């Protein structure tokens, strides 16, 4: 039998239903894997907190229900008993939520995020909380206050960010499923550089109640997995209207699993795929471009019509994002004032006033990147600059939306590389914020316009994964799952199996490192 941890979530769910594996066995197998590869000096460090006791209890409950049979067993969610990891930006009762920040070290949320309520109702055992750039600000997970996560493909490289922990956990077989959040690419870019699948749903498609806000007009929770079909199952579970999130879309979740299964047939006859001219060429590594061009050929062979589309205003998207996002950050993070929850630092000398306590608390509680963004946002929103910066950025947002509207008149989905490069070395960009920001050049336009996007593995360049991104019109997430699953299944035929099976064996890699 295939090792439990190597199964996709869907395969594991089938074995659970068939009684070939118990949920307790599945949870224990993943906990054992985490114990083997996550800790230590050269461990993956995907997890900030482990929730073993509760996960095993939920697993045992699912096993009992299954063993008893009858209506309750029939009513179990398809993913019941399949373990999941949660990005530590999403609040959970019974587990600390840190947002990767010293500010919230040891903070215990008194309430669950809506996505967590749904996961509990569906009885997915939660393995623990995953590492991230502090308050989700970064593209490498190096801005976590709790140390960087390592890329399972090469432990000296970044796993992407901000959701590097969730992506690395899934890539390292520490979990079959994870939750992420995507404000400018934080689900899709880690997916690309770890050879996994990540989806940013349509803005409002998944409730954000209980996701610690970074930039509220951009943030979106979404699924992280090793296969497109697995993400479809998880997306259907967490999606849907939530009255507790006033930006939540009041419409049913699309039939995503059905769309993924349709895609797995490999037939894309009549589907128009638009190649975004502005998101390739200069700045994109040759190896990334080569895998991208091969993907286009595979799609063409599957019957898709490949057309070129132009999005001339995308060149302003990165700049607009780095005005809008910090502005919203400066507002959202004002609540960390050392009064109601989180860290409080008393100034070493001088009078202890609220203002001085706030200044000392925020100085000690926030890391450099968070401070940079708060100051930048405060600048963009300040008198005299507001119209030139924040106001202009909001207009660019309109232009980016118009570019998408025009492109989607010519194509059903758009395609680009997810990230311009493969995973870079840990530490190589931490002193150059601007170089770090450029990682998100291809993912940011979707957040500005609210449209959904998926990253699927597109092959290797110099032994490291390359991601292919599809984008669809708002509300049309199903299209992503169809084309994503089609590309995945066709590429896997060429590779002779999933890309992730080519990843190095972590257990032996670690031994080599020691020797």
Partner 1 sequence: MSAISREDVVHLARLAHIEMSDAELDKMTGELGVIVDAIASVSEAAGADVPATSHPIPLSNVFREDVVGETLTVEQALQNAPDSEDSRFKVPAILDEE
Segment 95 to 134, residues that bind partner 1, using CB under 8 A: 107-108, 110-111
Judged by CB under 8 A, does residue 372 bind partner 1?
Answer: yes
Q: Using the rule CB under 8 A, which residue among 17, 102, 310, 371 binds partner 1?
A: 371
State yes or no: is 144 an active-site residue.
no
SS3 state at 395: helix
Q: Which stretch binds partner 1 (CB under 8 A): 8-16, 164-172, 398-406, 456-464?
A: 398-406
- Residue 46 CB partners (closer than 8 Å, separation 6+): 34, 38, 85, 130, 131, 149, 159, 164, 165, 166, 168, 169, 172, 174
Judged by CB under 8 A, does residue 202 bind partner 1?
Answer: yes
Q: Using the rule CB under 8 A, which residue among 271, 374, 468, 471 binds partner 1?
A: 374
Q: Which of 162, 207, 225, 327 is catalytic?
A: 162
Q: Which stretch binds partner 1 (CB under 8 A): 29-37, 243-251, 261-269, 277-285?
A: 243-251
Burial class of residue 218 in the structure, from the number of CB atoms within 10 Å of its CB (0-12 exposed, 13-18 middle, 19+ buried) = buried
| Cβ closest to partner 1, residue 25 vs residue 401 | 401
Number of neighbouring beta carbons within 10 Å of residue 515: 5
Q: Using the rule CB under 8 A, which residue among 2, 246, 269, 508 binds partner 1?
A: 246
Minimum CB separation from partner 1 for residue 478, in Å?
A: 17
Judged by CB under 8 A, does residue 448 bind partner 1?
Answer: yes
Token digits for 321? Answer: 């994002």
Judged by CB under 8 A, does residue 406 bind partner 1?
Answer: no
| Cβ closest to partner 1, residue 38 vs residue 328 | 328
Q: Using the rule CB under 8 A, which residue among 121, 398, 410, 501 binds partner 1?
A: 398
| Cβ closest to partner 1, residue 25 vs residue 428 | 428
| Cβ closest to partner 1, residue 10 vs residue 202 | 202
Q: Which stretch binds partner 1 (CB under 8 A): 116-124, 173-181, 314-322, 411-419?
A: 314-322
SS3 state at 286: helix
| Under 8 Å between Cβ of 167 and 159 | yes
Q: Which of 87, 123, 129, 343 is catalytic?
A: 87
| Cβ closest to partner 1, residue 301 vs residue 375 | 375
Minimum CB separation from partner 1 for residue 399, in Å?
A: 6
Classify each residue of 229-252 as buried b or exposed e, where b means 16 or more C-beta atoms within 10 Å of its C-beta: bbbbbbbbbbbbebeebeebbeee
Minimum CB separation from partner 1 for residue 218, in Å?
A: 8
| Under 8 Å between Cβ of 213 and 219 | yes
> Phi, psi at residue 54, to the nearest 5°?
-65, -40
State yes or no: is 410 an active-site residue.
no
- In the region spanning residues 341 to 360, those forming contacts with partner 1, defined by CB under 8 A, are 341-344, 346, 351-360
Number of neighbouring beta carbons within 10 Å of residue 504: 13
Q: Using the rule CB under 8 A, which residue among 167, 393, 483, 506 binds partner 1?
A: 393
Minimum CB separation from partner 1 for residue 271, in Å?
A: 24
| Cβ closest to partner 1, residue 39 vs residue 391 | 391
| Cβ closest to partner 1, residue 18 vs residue 348 | 348
| Cβ closest to partner 1, residue 36 vs residue 385 | 385
Give 84's strand partners.
126, 177
State yes or no: is 371 an active-site residue.
no
- Residue 432 CB partners (closer than 8 Å, separation 6+): none
Q: Using the rule CB under 8 A, which residue among 135, 146, 153, 203 binds partner 1?
A: 203
- Residue 495 CB partners (closer than 8 Å, separation 6+): 459, 502
Q: Which residue has the tokens 């299954």?
A: 66
Do you find a cis peptide bond into 162, omega within 30 degrees of 0? yes
Judged by CB under 8 A, does residue 302 bind partner 1?
Answer: no
Cα 455 from Cα 251, distance rounded (Å)? 24
The per-residue DSSP string of 12-50 comes to HHHHHHHTSS-HHHHHHHHHHHHHHHTSSTTS---EEEE
- In the region spanning residues 249 to 278, those forming contacts with partner 1, defined by CB under 8 A, are 249
Cα 1 from Cα 499, distance rounded (Å)? 20
In 181-278, which ranges are continuous DSSP H helix? 188-194, 228-238, 256-264
- Which residues are the active-site residues? 87, 162, 186
């Amino acid at each position: 039998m295939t090792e439990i941890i190597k199964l996709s979530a869907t395969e594991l769910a089938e074995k659970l239903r068939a009684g070939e594996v118990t949920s307790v066995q599945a949870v224990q197998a993943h906990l054992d894997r985490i114990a083997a590869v996550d800790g230590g000096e050269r461990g993956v460090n995907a997890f900030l907190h482990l929730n073993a006791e509760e996960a095993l209890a939920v697993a045992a409950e699912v096993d009992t229900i299954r063993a008893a049979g009858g209506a309750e067993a029939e009513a179990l969610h398809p993913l019941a008993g399949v373990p999941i990891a949660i990005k530590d930006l999403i609040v959970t009762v019974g587990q600390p939520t840190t947002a990767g920040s010293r500010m919230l070290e040891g903070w215990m949320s008194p309430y669950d995020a809506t996505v967590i309520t749904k996961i509990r109702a569906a009885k997915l055992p939660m393995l623990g909380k995953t590492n991230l750039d502090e308050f989700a600000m970064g593209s490498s997970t190096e801005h976590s206050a709790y140390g960087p996560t390592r890329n399972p493909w090469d432990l000296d490289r970044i796993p992407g960010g901000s959701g590097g922990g969730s992506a690395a956990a899934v890539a390292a077989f520490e979990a079959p499923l994870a939750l992420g959040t995507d404000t400018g690419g934080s689900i899709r870019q880690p997916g690309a550089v770890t050879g996994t699948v990540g989806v940013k749903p349509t803005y409002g498609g998944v409730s954000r109640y209980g996701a610690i806000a970074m930039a509220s007009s951009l943030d979106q929770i979404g699924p992280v997995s090793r296969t497109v079909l697995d993400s479809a199952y998880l997306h259907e579970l967490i999606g849907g209207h939530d009255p507790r999130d006033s930006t939540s879309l009041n419409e049913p979740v699309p039939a995503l699993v059905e769309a993924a299964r349709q895609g797995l047939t490999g037939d894309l006859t009549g589907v128009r795929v638009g190649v975004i001219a502005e998101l390739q060429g200069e700045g994109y590594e040759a190896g990334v471009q080569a895998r991208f061009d091969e993907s286009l050929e595979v799609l063409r062979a599957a019957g898709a019509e490949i057309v070129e589309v132009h999005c001339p205003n995308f060149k302003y998207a990165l700049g607009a994002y780095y005005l809008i996002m910090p502005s919203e950050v400066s507002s959202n993070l004002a609540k960390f004032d050392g009064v109601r929850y989180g860290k409080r630092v008393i100034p070493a000398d001088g009078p202890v006033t609220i203002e001085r306590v706030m200044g000392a608390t925020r100085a000690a509680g926030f890391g450099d990147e968070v401070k940079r963004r708060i100051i930048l946002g405060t600048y963009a929103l300040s008198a005299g600059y507001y119209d030139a910066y924040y106001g202009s950025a909001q207009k660019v947002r309109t232009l980016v939306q118009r570019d998408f509207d025009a492109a989607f008149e010519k194509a059903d989905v758009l395609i680009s590389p997810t990230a311009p490069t493969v995973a870079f070395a840990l530490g190589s960009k931490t002193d150059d914020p601007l170089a770090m920001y450029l990682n998100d050049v291809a993912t940011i336009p979707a957040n500005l316009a609210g449209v959904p996007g998926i990253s699927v593995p597109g092959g290797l360049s110099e032994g490291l994964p390359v991601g292919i991104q599809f984008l669809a019109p708002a509300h049309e997430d199903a299209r992503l799952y169809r084309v994503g699953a089609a590309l995945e299944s066709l590429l896997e035929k060429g590779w002779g199996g999933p890309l992730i099976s080519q990843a190095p064996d972590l257990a032996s890699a670690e031994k080599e490192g020691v020797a």
